[in-house]
Structure 1
Amino acid sequence: MKKRMIGMTILCLLFLIGCSKSKEPTFEDFFHAEMEKTKEEYGKEFNYSYSLVYTNVHKLNQHQDSIAIFTEHNPNGDQIFIAYFEKENGKWEWKQTRGAEWDSAVQWSSMSEEPYIYSGTLTDDSITNVFAGDEPAEIIEVEEGKRFWYAISDVQNVKVKAVKEDGSEENVKEIDEELMKNEGKK
């Protein structure tokens, strides 16, 4: 009986030690810690804020990566960003970021290194799908009337196409030249 009690005590202690080990931070923990550093850099005199809108963590082979979409109120106003992260040696690393503004002349952009991530804003409710080359985009509802899309491709410099609810398709230029002219007149 005494041996059994000692054995149970040892098992309980081992269980408690295993439970008390600090667990590895999640991707969201890492992201929020990095954004709090950004907030500190702006200081209290600027009312900086951010909101994590969407994450997608993947595990490909032995490699883990993540996409984060977040909004930010910074000195340039209200913007939306997409960032790409990789997990290396058990730690997340911020690799690439692209930003956008609602109703900007820049309709989409792409990251300059692999994976090539194409992204942009959508305010036209009639658009149901977006393609970067052959890759279908993920479309995320950010808030009423504002959507953000992204597509991951292993091909650089592809055409971007929008598909409307009536089935019509249109190639989307990176820069809306008409809107660019109107912005220049302001």
Structure 2
Amino acid sequence: MKKQICFLLLICIAVLMGCSKEETFEDFFPKTMEKMHKGEKDFSYSIIYKEMNVVHKNDAIAIFIENNSHEEKIFIGYFEKENNKWNWKRTRGAEWDSRLNWSSMNQVPYIYSGAINDNAISEVYAGDELAKIIEVDSNKRFWYAISDAKDVQVKVVKNDGTQEVIEQIDKASIKAEY
């Protein structure tokens, strides 16, 4: 009788362990996007890049495009897994033809990012960190760099080797408009 009870108890434990499925990023992201944009018409998104274990184990970044009836924007999100559940920590976005050249997340890890429309740009640096450049389509690219430092200088290197510091806001286009 005791053997039967122990055997039944082991089966129950095994079944319960099988039911407590760990949340994957692939399940978390679309479910969260659906919740955030519930009821929006003409909304769609697509993940164009993701990387797991970026700063430490159980974190991730995702670069994704959101489309609605008005515009297309590109975003980078930072995620961490805590107690077997994914949490969306921070997000920064960009528009392809914006006066905002780049942005940064204001907490550790400092993630600098921006859209690139200039095919002459071959590298981007945030401080000493070489950015990863993601091809979105033939004329659009997106870059990001992860740094331990806040408020670093961002510069680009062009195909001809010239370097240029990029201000966060394109003041010249603002002056030209006014």
1:113 equivalent among 86, 107, 112: 107
Is structure 2 residue 20 aligned with structure 1 residue 25?
no
Q: Which residue of 1 aligns with 2:43?
A: 48
Amino acid at match of 2:37: K
Amino acid at match of 2:80: E
Q: CA deviation at 1:143?
A: 1.4
Q: CA deviation at 1:166?
A: 1.1
Measured in 1, the distance between the counterparts of 2:78 and 2:15 equals 35
Tell me the SS of whatever aligns to 2:58: strand
Q: Residue 39 of structure 1 contacts residue 49 of structure 1 at CA under 8 Å; is this kept in 2?
A: no
Measured in 2, the distance between the counterparts of 1:179 and 1:127 equals 19
Assess, with a 3 A threshold, how the Cα gap between structure 1 residues 133 and 125 changes in structure 2: closer, same or farther.
Answer: same
Tell me the SS of whatever aligns to 1:40: coil
Tell me the SS of whatever aligns to 2:157: strand
Measured in 1, the distance between the counterparts of 2:152 and 2:63 equals 22
Assess, with a 3 A threshold, how the Cα gap between structure 1 residues 167 and 102 changes in structure 2: closer, same or farther.
Answer: same
Measured in 2, the distance between the counterparts of 1:144 and 1:39 equals 29
Measured in 2, the distance between the counterparts of 1:76 and 1:111 equals 25
1:36 equivalent among 29, 34, 37: 34
Q: Which residue of 1 aligns with 2:61?
A: 67
Amino acid at match of 2:52: V
Amino acid at match of 2:138: E
Amino acid at match of 2:29: F
Q: CA deviation at 1:138?
A: 0.5
Structure 2 residue runs without a partner (length 5+): 1-10
Q: CA deviation at 1:80?
A: 0.5
Measured in 2, the distance between the counterparts of 1:113 and 1:165 equals 32
Is structure 2 residue 81 aligned with structure 1 residue 87?
yes
2:127 equivalent among 126, 133, 137: 133
Report matched runs for 1:136-155 at 5 Å: 136-155=130-149
1:103 equivalent among 87, 97, 106: 97
Q: Which residue of 2 aligns with 1:10?
A: none
Q: Residue 107 of structure 1 contacts residue 172 of structure 1 at CA under 8 Å; is this kept in 2?
A: yes
Q: CA deviation at 1:75?
A: 6.4
Q: Which residue of 1 aligns with 2:4?
A: none
Aligned residues: percent identity? 52
Q: CA deviation at 1:165?
A: 1.0
Q: CA deviation at 1:74?
A: 3.5
Measured in 2, the distance between the counterparts of 1:60 and 1:137 equals 14
Q: Residue 54 of structure 2 contacts residue 61 of structure 2 at CA under 8 Å; is this kept in 1?
A: no
Task: Give the 4+ runs in structure 1 shifted more than 3 A.
Answer: 20-23
Q: Residue 67 of structure 1 contacts residue 83 of structure 1 at CA under 8 Å; is this kept in 2?
A: yes
